[in-house]
Amino acid sequence: MTLFIISILIFVGVEALPGDLTEAVLGQSATPETVAAFRKELKLDLPPHIRYLSWLGGIVRGEFGNSLANGRPIADLIGWRIGNSLFLAATTAAIAVPLSILLGIVAALYRNSFFDRAISMVTLSTISFPEFFVAYILIALLSVQLIIFPSISNINAQMPFLEKIHAIVLPCLTLTLVVVAHMMRQTRAAIINILASPFIEMAKLKGLKKTRIVIFHAFPNALSPVINVVAVNLAYLVAGVVIVEVVFVFPGLGQLLVDSVSKRDIPVVQASGLIFASVYITLNLLADMLSIISNPRLRNPK
């Protein structure tokens, strides 16, 4: 249902953009005749609602249709890009999620210590820089000065896995720096919040070690907010990384969407928009489910 409304919104949105695909593709060389002929070929001369309905019909049958701009099947176009986007997101998440949770726990454990303050300043600074700037700095340091990692991550299907991993180290690192701060701070806040609970005092009065209290008593109860913030960041990693894709020439979905918007390639915009929306919705659902599973109160009703 939500997806349906989103698809209508996207359609209306792209329709509302000035110009259409033909003008965008032909650019400076558009003439009224060529534009008209082009439109006819792409059936852009039909009224919008008919185009929408035929698109919807295709989706119901499981067909995304073809790109207007280059006539390729959208499923092919999107297929490997979403694979790439997910690959990047998964790799980043594999580093960022454990790292930020660990840092969050440690920061909560030694809160107001030098370590806590240092880590909070560092993460704060990383989110305070524009994303592309972090990327440039990393490139300048790790790719240009010390030639360790490639500065562009144009992975392709033929690449072996390890080479792929090597290629995406820098975008991964950039994204990690961007998301870790948020997740870590939330983890820390959630745990500290829990630390005010009576059962934590109880645990202290049982003579437990600080580490055990934080990990065994506070963290399990802070899971729900942590899961939620992780979900939000994962959704961002899949859908919101256009800038990193541009800087690192990474063939992800975001760039496709931006290109398609600028070329008014409606079916591609629709399809990728829907994918983003479903990723977002799925992740949120997943987060809700995990929250329930992590909470014995909800998992084992009376």
Partner 1 sequence: MQNPHILVIKQLVIEGQSGSQWTPIVKGIDLTLKKGEVLGLIGESGAGKSTLGLAAMGYTQQGCRISSGSIQFNGMELVGALKSDLRRLRGNRIAYVAQSAAASFNPAHRLIKQYAEAPIQHGLMGFAEAEQKAVDIYRQLLLPDPENIGYRYPHQVSGGQLQRAMVAMAMACQPDIIVFDEPTTALDVTTQIEVLAAIKQITREYNTAAIYITHDLAVVAQLADRIMVLRHGNLVEESDAREMLADPKEDYTRQLLSVRTLRDGKALSIFDRDVILEVENASASYNGSDMVLEEIDLSIKRGRTIALVGESGSGKSTLARVITGLLPPSQGRIIFDGQELPGKLADRDRETLRRMQMIYQMPDTALNPRQRISKIIGRPISFYADINGREKDVRIKELLDMVELPATYMDRYPSELSGGEKQRICIARALAAEPDLIICDEVTSALDQLVAEGVLQLLQRLQAELGVSYLFITHDLATVKAIADEIIVMLNGRIVDAGSARCGLRNHCPIGQGAASTLIIGVGLNGRGKNKLPHLACLLTRLRRCVNGPIQ
Partner 2 sequence: MAFFKLLRSSPLSARIGLAIVLINIAAAILAPVISPYGETEIVGDVWVSPSPDHYLGTDHLGRDLFTRLVYGARNTIAIAFVTTVLSFMVGALCGFFAATLGGWTDLSLSRGVDIIMAFPTLIFALMVLSVVGTSITSLIIVIALLDSTRVFRLSRAVAMDIEIMEFVEAARLRGEGTWWLMRHEILPNAMPPLVAEFGLRFCFVFLFIAALSFLGLGIQPPTADWGSMVMENAGAITFGIFTPLVPAGAIAFLTVGVNLIVDWFLHLASGLED
Partner 3 sequence: MEETVTATLSPICVPLPAHADTPKKGGRLRLGLSGGSTTDSLDPATIPDAVPQSVNWSLRNNLVEISADGKPVPELAESWESSPDASQWIFKLRQGVEFHNGKTLDAQDVVESINHHRGKDSKSAAKGIVDPIKEIKADGKDTVVFVLDGGNADFPFIMCDYHLTIQPAGTKGAEFEKGIGTGGYMLVAHEPGVRALTKRNPNYWKEGSAYFDEVETISIADYSARTNALKTGQVDLINRCDVKTVHLLKKAPGVQIVRVTGTKHYTLPMRTDMAPFDNNDVRMALKYAIDREQMLKLILRGYGSVGNDHPIAPSNRYHAADLPQRKFDPDKAKFHLKKAGLSGHTFKLHAADAAFGGAVDAAVLLKEHAAKAGIMIEVVKEPNDGYWSNVWLKKAWCTCYWSGRATEDWMFSTAYAADAKWNDTFWKHDRFNQLVTAARAELDDAKRREMYGECQKIIRDEGGVIIPMFADYVEASSNKLRHGKLAGNWEMDGQRLPERWWFA
Which stretch, 47-55, 88-96, 223-231, 240-248, contacts partner 3 (CB under 8 A)?
Answer: 240-248
136 interacts with partner 2 by CB under 8 A:
yes
Q: Scan residues 172-201 and list those touching partner 2 (CB under 8 A).
A: 192-193, 195-196
**Other beta carbons less than 10 A from residue 194's beta carbon:** 20
CB of 2 to partner 2, least distance (A): 6
* Phi-psi sector, 252: left (phi>0), alpha (psi -120 to 50), beta: beta
Q: Does 77 bind partner 3 (CB under 8 A)?
A: yes
For residue 144, state whether it binds partner 3 (rule: CB under 8 A): yes
Residue with structure tokens 């207007």?
68
How many angstroms separate the CA atoms of 26 and 88, rounded? 33
Cβ-Cβ contacts under 8 Å for 249 (sequence gap 6 or more): 152, 153, 154
Single out the residue of 278, 295, 285 nearest to residue 5, CA to CA: 278
Residue among 17, 46, 289, 298 that touches partner 2 (CB under 8 A): 17
24 lines the binding site for partner 3 (CB under 8 A) = yes
Residue 2 as a binder of partner 2 (CB under 8 A): the answer is yes
Q: How many angstroms separate the CA atoms of 33 and 140, rounded?
A: 49
Backbone angles phi, psi at 19, to 5 degrees: 75, 170
Q: What angle do CA 16, 281, 186 make, to 5 degrees?
A: 110
Q: Which position among 5, 133, 212, 262 is part of the footprint of partner 1 (CB under 8 A)?
A: 212
Residues ≥6 apart with Cβ < 8 Å to 221: 194, 197
Residue in this structure with the two tokens 């870790």, named with its chain if needed: 180
By CB under 8 A, residue 133 contacts partner 2:
yes
Instruction: Return the amino acid letter for 301.
Output: P
Looking at 201, 211, 259, 285, which residue binds partner 1 (CB under 8 A)? 201
Position 127 contacts partner 2 (CB under 8 A): yes
Choose which of 29, 31, 112, 300 interacts with partner 2 (CB under 8 A).
112
Closest separation in Å from C-beta 295 to partner 1: 8
- Positions touching partner 3 (CB under 8 A) are 17-19, 22-31, 33-35, 37-38, 40-41, 67, 69-72, 77, 80, 136, 139-140, 143-144, 147, 150-152, 154, 156, 158, 246-249, 251, 255-256, 259-263, 265, 268
